[in-house]
Chains A and B, each alone.
Chain A
Amino acid sequence: MQDEDQKQVVCYKCNVALELRKTEVSYQGYKFAADLHRCPSCGQAYISEELVKGKMKQVEKELEEK
């Protein structure tokens, strides 16, 4: 799972651009890594609505059927 959103997002606190990083996500007892926008300094994440409604929703649905 990777956030394909190309827009420039900047951490308000650290004033640095977020970059794609392997991040642990979990649902229904399953854990796996996803490439999400993270602040390289404080770790704050950003997930675009596109990812939420697309791939993430699909994975959620699949895990709910597990």
Chain B
Amino acid sequence: MNAYEIGEMEALCIQEETAYCTAECPVHVNVRALMSYVNKGSFEKAFKSYAKQVKFPRIISRVCDEPCRAVCIRKKLDDSLAVRLIEKACVDYTVVKRHNRSGKVKKSERIAVIGGGLSGLSCSVELVSKGYDVTLYEKTERLGGRLWDFDRLLLPAEIITNELSELEGAGVRVCLNSAVVSLSELDFEAVYVGTGIIGESFALTQSAEKSKGVDPVSLATSMEGVFVGGSMLVPEQHYSPIYSVSQGVRAGKSIDRYFRKLSLSGEREKEGSYQTRLYTDIRDKEIKLMVPVNDSARGYSEAGAKEEAARCLQCDCKICVKTCCFLESYSEYPKSYVKNISKSLTVIPTMGTRFASRLVNSCSVCGLCKEVCVTKFDMGVACLDARKIMVEQGDMPAAFHDFFLRDMMFANSEQSFLVRQQPGAQACSYLFFPGCQLSASSPGNVEKAYKYLMTMLPGGVGLMLGCCGAPAEWSGRTEVYKEQLQQFQGHWESLGRPKVILSCPTCIKMFKEYLPEVPVQSLWGLIAQVGFSRKDNSAKGLSIAVYDPCSSRYDPESQGSVRKILKELGCDITELPLHGIYAQCCSYGGLIQAVNPELANQITNQRISASHLPYVTYCINCRNDFAAKGKPVWYLLDLLFGEVSEAEANQQVPGYTERRNNRITLKTYLLESIWGETMEIAQQKYEKIELSYSATIQEKMERELILLNEVKEVIYYAEQTGNKIIDTANNHFVAHLQLGIITYWAEYLPKGNAYEVFNVYAHRMQIDEKGS
């Protein structure tokens, strides 16, 4: 997608769609706003909003047939909201009832309205509000039509009289006792006929099929400038006061269009009742029955109305926002996010802030939002494409992904990368690719799994240690991940295109998406299929929760196989609230750590509190993130090949430096123990210096993504060149060095043959030390 297309995604998000009640209401009373006002006790504001839509608030609030209640989703929980009663309370508890009715005739066109019932009255009000000259003809001695048929207790005569007496003040010329016999006797530019169910139809409609000959959208008839509406178009049993109001308003809008020579029926889909696209999830809503009314004619007290209004669910969607810490953290929703992203990508940087830059890079790209969304809106796709555009435009802050890209390059460097056929095998039918992070964080499991595969599978199992390129993909660097995948492909071809066994769910996802010609097999599926040889019962009865990694979302084979293996081990499995297709990212995905560490921290904390049980996962990054926060968690291979001890679940996570060393050690060790080869490890001079530092410094280095080698390089450089300063407060040396795009600082002192490090820190800004 380009920036424009990312912006266009906004149409898919339904958060701003109309509430069910408002869409169903033919005059679109803003029920959500009304309820919110009443809930706060702002009856006047509620009245104003209500009066604007219904035209005759005192009357309608007593007789409305409430089509809104039929679609109120509270109905699925308990009772529909008592909308009309609350509307009546707005009228009752508003002292000064101000209507925005202008009485000024500004236009020359004159309109005759025939019939003083609700539709004719509404049409008149609509037209005078637009400045037209309106004359209303009523054949009886009073306005109101069928309103006089209502029970007087419900609708007292003075309410009708008072409300309708305002009409003339609003600018309508009212002619009572004026029966119109023929339309030809009238000298007007347009006519509205709303004479009711038994009124004169002037042969504009046919009694058998009332609406025949009338355009249902514009209410225009075959006679030029003549419109009809109201209850004369509907069968008796369908009489609806609010529908009559809407018909009058609709005809008024048509007459306005008619004079302005606009299309009578174009773009009017949202006039009258329509179907909203909104979706509101009510699974977590509390049951609250309707507040009872003692006297249905009097309605609610102020307090009763407020209490009932509080039952309004304020229907919206935000289902993704409620499911995702990232979407929630920016306080809005995908519709506004993609609009911002699109704008951000096209704005000239110096002209304004690219406020979406961090947002775009704070998404784990896990795809959970798409799964919970009724329209399948995928914020991950928008963010990933936006990252690609940022990279192409040269706008991506390098520091956002630098650390993890360097880690990827290291995993594929001479020091860590390894590819070999099974020793002694004639062919290579399989290739085990454990992924960069397993070799780094749990090298013992790589060895055990490889040996297991060599024992269980015929035809030779090769081994490749490296990275699939996922970090580059997450960072928006298309060329870089393609390069990594091509390197893989080259080796795979030269091994005779073996079937590739993958343990990392992200590798599986990457291979399936970008290397479709490579046959892949999930390690978990394979283990479930060929079996394993764990003889003891150490995992029997172990109560655990399975944590599905986000990349396994569309990999039911791995998800199912993992559960099968755990059952065979005798584990007592509990499912987390979100699992399977709803799997959540641990916070490693999308490389958000360096971009938004606070968010990453919040996400991981939320994940580990989803269950008090220890977790079992099959993504080593998930294990690392959770275990680093003290959550007991086993990597599945530990349960298959390890001791299944509590100590194992609580096993410390190796730091970033240790992970790099682990890769080197694993390669050296495997080469020697399996292939009988020795590898010379070329060490840089600075790597040979010894450092001592406290656990606090160690933690700080992890948190701030500073590697031990980087500290060594700073100190080595300072000692070689003398470029250091002395802090006179403690006589410590302080030195710095820019390595790549980051400048590292170390506070230290020599200690015997080594150096004691007191502090480390780093920044992204660059200093020009050459200038004076």
Contacts and interface: CB of A to CB of B under 8 A. Distances in A.
Contacts of A8: 727-729
Most chain A beta-carbon neighbours within 10 Å: one of B355, B734, B762: B734
Interface string A7-47: 11111110000100101111110000000101100011111
Interface stretch (B52-60, B185-193, B628-636, B764-772): B764-772
A28 B349 CA distance: 11
Interface centre among A18, A39, A52, A64 (most CB of B within 10 A): A64
Interface residues of A, number: 36
B733 A25 contact: no
Contact of B761 (A9, A44, A49): A49
B771 A23 contact: yes
Interface stretch (B413-421, B606-614, B718-726): B718-726
Nearest to A8: B728
B725 A24 contact: no
Nearest to B359: A65
A6 to B, nearest CB: 10
Contacts of B765: 25-27, 56, 59-60
Contact of B745 (A12, A28, A49): A49
A44 B724 CA distance: 8
A48 B761 CA distance: 9
Contact of A7 (B353, B723, B729): B729
Contacts of A25: 765-768
A46 B734 contact: yes
B728 A64 contact: no
B728 to A, nearest CB: 4
A49 B759 contact: yes
B357 interface: yes
Contacts of B400: 64
A66 B393 CA distance: 13
Q: Identify the interface centre among B358, B762, B763, B765: most chain A CB within 10 Å of its CB.
A: B765
Contacts of B353: 62, 65-66
Nearest to B726: A10
Nearest to B400: A64
Contacts of B354: 65-66
B358 A43 contact: no
A3 to B, nearest CB: 11
A45 B350 CA distance: 29
B721 to A, nearest CB: 8
A36 B358 CA distance: 28
Contacts of A47: 736, 745, 763, 767
B542 interface: no
B768 A9 contact: no
A65 B353 CA distance: 6
Nearest to B723: A44
A9 B736 CA distance: 14
Contacts of A11: 725-726
B762 to A, nearest CB: 8
B734 A66 contact: no
Contacts of B768: 23-26
A26 B79 CA distance: 63
B399 interface: yes
Interface in B391-450: 397, 399-400
B717 to A, nearest CB: 12
A28 B397 CA distance: 7
Contact of A27 (B723, B745, B766, B770): B766
Nearest to B721: A13
A5 to B, nearest CB: 10
Best-buried of B350, B358, B397 by chain A (most CB within 10 Å)? B397
Interface in B333-351: 349-350
B728 A9 contact: yes
A64 B766 contact: no
A8 B745 CA distance: 17
12 contacts: A8-B727, A8-B728, A10-B725, A23-B767, A24-B768, A26-B766, A27-B764, A49-B759, A52-B761, A64-B400, A65-B358, A66-B349
Given A9-B727, A65-B358, 5 more contacts: A10-B725, A24-B771, A27-B766, A44-B769, A62-B353
